[in-house]
């Protein structure tokens, strides 16, 4: 999102979260009313009051994931395009899911995940007709 508003934030939640979920957020007021649309409602923690967990309510895992992602973008990648954002998210989701295993196990899982997939260069850079790599099996 170029600019986060209550409308586009709630639309993203509606489009990507199961209706049976519980929405857990910080105290940002843009989320107001979203809980009425989900079975589990909307639970919050108030960071500005030093609250980071309240019973089973927290956003710690989400914030940790996005911290890992942002470190990757700023420290290594420097830029991600909207066109390929889903691929970068998939990569960091894999990293997050494999964070508790050793390098050898992570390598085996990466190779298993690559089976049957390949990237092809559909159109040359500078031809004006595309953005380069695209999944052949998508």
Q: Is the pLDDT of residue 124 over 60?
A: no
Number of domains in the chain: 2
Residue 99 reports pLDDT greater than 70: yes
Please indicate, yes or no, whether residues 68 and 106 belong to a single structural domain of this protein.
Answer: yes
Inside any domain, residue 89: yes
d(CA 105, CA 81): 30
Q: Is residue 23 part of a domain?
A: yes
**What is the pTM assigned to this prediction?**
0.69
- pLDDT tens, residue by residue, 113-122: 988 888 777 6
Over residues 66-86, the mean pLDDT reads 91
103 by Cβ neighbours in 10 Å (0-12 / 13-18 / 19+) ranks as exposed
Mean pLDDT of 28-50: 96
Is residue 81 domain-resident?
yes
What distance in Å separates the CA atoms of residue 52 and residue 7, rounded to the nearest whole number?
26
Cβ atoms 101, 109 nearer than 8 A: yes
Q: Look at residues 31, 52, 50 and name the one whose alpha carbon lies nearest to residue 42.
A: 31
- Give the residue carrying structure tokens 């942002």: 70
Q: Can you tell me the mean pLDDT for 35-62?
A: 95
Task: Compute CA distances 79 → 3, 43, 74, whole Å.
Answer: 18, 33, 7
Q: Are 86 and 40 part of one and the same domain?
A: no
Which range marks the domain in which residue 33 is found?
Answer: 6-58
Confidence of residue 138 (pLDDT cuts 50, 70, 90): very low
Domain shared by 50 and 86, yes or no: no
**pLDDT higher than threshold 50 for residue 86:** yes
Q: In terms of C-beta distances under 8 Å and separation of at least 24 residues, what long-range contacts does 66-72 make, across chains too?
A: 68/92, 68/95, 68/96
Residue 123 binned pLDDT confidence (cut-offs 50, 70, 90)? low
Give the pLDDT mean for 82-107: 93
Q: What mean pLDDT do residues 102-113 have?
A: 94
For residue 109, is pLDDT > 50? yes
């Amino acid at each position: 999102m170029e600019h986060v508003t209550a409308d586009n934030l709630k639309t993203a939640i509606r489009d990507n979260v199961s209706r049976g979920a519980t929405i857990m957020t910080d105290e940002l007021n843009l989320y107001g009313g979203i809980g009425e649309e989900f079975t589990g409602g909307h639970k919050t923690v108030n960071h500005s009051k030093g609250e980071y967990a309240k019973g089973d309510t927290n956003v710690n895992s989400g914030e940790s994931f996005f911290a890992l992602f942002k470190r990757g973008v700023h420290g290594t990648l420097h830029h991600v395009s909207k066109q390929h954002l889903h691929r970068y998210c998939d990569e960091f989701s894999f990293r997050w899911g494999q964070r508790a295993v050793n390098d050898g196990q992570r390598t085996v899982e990466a190779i298993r995940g690559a089976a049957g997939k390949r990237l092809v260069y559909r159109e040359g850079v500078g031809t004006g007709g595309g953005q380069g790599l695209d999944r052949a099996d998508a």
